[in-house]
Structure 1
């Protein structure tokens, strides 16, 4: 009987810790996967598109002057500007895949690749992972993960702790 209760306790403990862990869901930010809201090919061009998200959230992809950023649109249609282009001023693009960290199917954080052209040589990019907390009343960038070994794993760790962090202010580097 004692062994049975011990085994039952361990199974319950493992199951509850697995339930509490955040999970990843992925959506595309490729132009073809997004609904075009506006597009202008004049000059440096501009684009605004709405991409599917998770749990009723959407991503608004914005491009202007060869720079990109994203906004988060909540299920209640509230918009939160993540202002990626305020962190790095060079020409930039968003990666083709967005990772949503969810808890119980509800988004709690977002990880997006942000490729920024080198100011001296625009053929060279630096690829950052922008970590943002996601919520119904606020969403903002909490961490920027610079290129490094295990960059994706580091971003996930930071995303899972993002809810308790303050928002980063864009530095304009």
Structure 2
């Protein structure tokens, strides 16, 4: 019985998120995070640090920065401005890799399509218990605004309905940046 109710909850949540986004003129597109359409440049031969530039949508591109077995992404606007998403600071400090593609959330307003968010899967290695490290999949949801882009949500990708939750989070226009929340949270102790 528990499995049926869990399935029903995920189905309802997925339908709700999809309907909400459709009503607001959102659509989704995917772009690669590796492969023939991406160009890789080695930044440091000694450490293996490298930057890969991949196409996005509507003139946007993604720079994937890999260093010390960790990865982060910068959003590159059509005018070549770069917005660092800082996965190393707001998603995970552990070893990480990316999924195979990015999901773009595109808003259409007056016949003009504008990317307003990008969702990327980040696979990280949770090493809180060094004897038993655990793989942990996350979805990084980043808002793209006129003069900035930042991560607003970190979603556990192993939970049922995670993709629908990420799309719903991407539609929250007033969501604060995670690095701003961390900066305003008082330290304990």
TM-score, normalization: structure 2? 0.74
Question: Is residue 2:162 matched to residue 1:151?
Answer: yes
State the 1:41 CA deviation.
Answer: 4.6
Secondary structure in 2 matching 1:33: coil
TM-score, normalization: structure 1? 0.80
Select the residue among 49, 53, 72 that pairs with 1:50. Answer: 53
Question: Is residue 2:127 matched to residue 1:124?
Answer: no
1:82 aligned partner? 85
Give the 3 Å change call, closer, same or farther, for CA 68–32 of structure 1 in structure 2.
Answer: farther
CA RMSD of aligned residues (A): 2.1
Q: Can you give the 5+ residue segments of structure 2 that lack an aligned partner in the other structure?
A: 1-20, 183-189
User: Where do 1:94-109 residues align within 5 Å?
Assistant: 94-104=98-108, 105-109=113-117
Distance 2:134 2:72 in 1: 19
Select the residue among 13, 38, 42 that pairs with 1:38. Answer: 42
The answer to whether the 8 Å contact 1:112/1:129 transfers is yes
Select the residue among 125, 137, 140 that pairs with 2:147. Answer: 137
User: Where do 1:62-73 residues align within 5 Å?
Assistant: 62-73=65-76
Distance 2:95 2:35 in 1: 18
Question: Is residue 2:114 matched to residue 1:110?
Answer: no
State the 1:102 CA deviation.
Answer: 0.2
Larger radius of gyration: 1
Secondary structure in 2 matching 1:125: strand
Q: Can you give the 5+ residue segments of structure 1 that lack an aligned partner in the other structure?
A: 1-16
Distance 1:122 1:31 in 2: 32
State the 1:28 CA deviation.
Answer: 0.5
